[in-house]
Amino acid sequence: MGYYCYMLLCADGSFYTGWTLDPARREKQHNQGRGAKYTRFHRPVHLVYIEEQPDQSTAMRREKALKKLSHGQKAILANSYRQSKMNSTPSQVQVLSPGRVNLLGEHVDYNDGLVLPAAIDKEVTIQAQARPGDEIKIRALDLNEEVQMNLASLANKQDSQGQPLPGWALYPAGVAHVLQLHGLAVSGVEAEFHSNLPIGAGLSSSAAVEVGFAVMWEAFGGWKLERTTLAQYAQEAEVKYVGVNCGLMDQFACANGVEDHALLFDTRSLGWRPIKLPEGTRIVIANSMVKHTLMGSAYNTRHDECNQAVAILKGHYPAICALRDVSLAELESVKAGMPENVYRRARHVVSECQRVLDAAEALDHGDGKKFGQLMVATHASLRDDYEVSCAELDVLVESAMRIPDCLGARLTGAGFGGCTVNLVNEEAVKAFIGELKSAYKAKTGIDAAIFLCRAAAGAHVVA
């Protein structure tokens, strides 16, 4: 966690000094009238100086020292900071932004629950060059498509010729739009990107694109966001610009990944910690080759059904804010007053929240066997109560669990196709992949893409 002293240039030319954990967010709060009394009467304000401190007490002492400086001395500091940013801002960058696999905690992120994702070593790679002006030119190499947009007209979701943006371009365009709404500098760019993440496989290729472009514009803009805040802005782009009511988990994992660790993430408090994966095991992902499209699927419907369940439960238990707050006993007590589909959606979420807690305890004790059992239970719940599986995913899970060295298997991601994730004893991985491919081919006629992956670091600039 970083601690920052900062200075704002106010509308009347005066300076305001403070300290914060997130300078960009604090600037926004001041401009919304939710900062200090002084800035409420001197808006708008603009962030002109930041310096990082090692801890809170040092930041508070430095804040007092900065406040004692004369106006001229503060202006010199602000100008030096501006010049240093201009000199340190790169003109070209390469960004690696990982996909993610969710090990446990499916469809609970938009219900305020805890989740256990991991960033993986399959990623989106962005090569970009800053360019003057407001023009954005992006090439999607895997699709052999290109689009040009203008930063000033992103709200219209149209390209430079006034045509609707293609679906893939909504993700980087949405990120640029949201960053601008939050008062961050977004430059014109010429960029191209490609991915070794299978599109539509439930490995968060969209979140990887969003977070990757946010990191790119961060590098070009010379500003710095705390990684969970950056993930929230990427999520905002997907919800408000693209139109998918996703939770924060995917963007969070893409931004905050830790090598060889899962991330226990509380989507309500935003607290998190890395948890080491079991020794002697490997993650194997099996792509069913059945693609899902979130915007055209029942994803938003499931979201609405969860909200219906909360509304009914609040009539009996007013303190409930989300399904994360509900016990199985409380849910059972109102079952008679719920539509059957709404009850079953809620039962999945409530039971899955408990499974995540149990899984974290299992990982803390290095208990891969227990963790695998919870994975299988999650798949059954997703299949029967949440109804987001499909025949091909069920075949993959059932076939995997017949192989002795597979500790656990389940669908991962939103469902409706995509991938399964498997926890396998390390020494048996090669044989497991061969057996699973053969079994799936025999039962479906489809050649599954099955591959090893490792838990990886979050999105970052590499050049």
Task: Count CB atoms within 10 A of the CB of residue 29.
Answer: 15
At residue 294, φ and ψ (nearest 5 deg) are -60, -45
Q: Cα separation of 6 and 375, whole Å?
A: 46
CA 459 to each of CA 2, 96, 119, 161, 273: distance values in angstroms, whole numbers, following the listed order: 18, 6, 9, 32, 17
Q: DSSP characters for 76-94?
A: HHHHHHHHHHHHHS-SEEE
Nearest to 409 by CA among 419, 397, 392, 427: 397
Angle 134-136-139 (CA atoms, 0-180°, nearest 5)? 170
Beta bridge partners of 291: none
CA 319 to each of CA 147, 307, 309, 324, 388: distance values in angstroms, whole numbers, following the listed order: 48, 15, 14, 12, 29
The dihedral region occupied by 292, where left means phi > 0, alpha psi between -120 and 50, and beta the remainder, is beta
Q: Cα separation of 352 and 345, whole Å?
A: 11
Q: Cα separation of 200 and 416, whole Å?
A: 10
Q: Cα separation of 400 and 348, whole Å?
A: 23
Instruction: Identify whether the C-beta of residue 72 lies closer than 8 Å to the C-beta of residue 78.
Output: no
How many DSSP H helices and E strands does the chain contain? Answer: 14, 15
Instruction: Identify whether the C-beta of residue 114 lies closer than 8 Å to the C-beta of residue 356.
Output: yes
Instruction: Identify whether the C-beta of residue 367 lies closer than 8 Å to the C-beta of residue 278.
Output: yes
Name the token pair of 155: 């709200």
Nearest to 451 by CA among 253, 280, 289, 208: 289
Q: Cα separation of 355 and 444, whole Å?
A: 31
Residues with catalytic function = 250
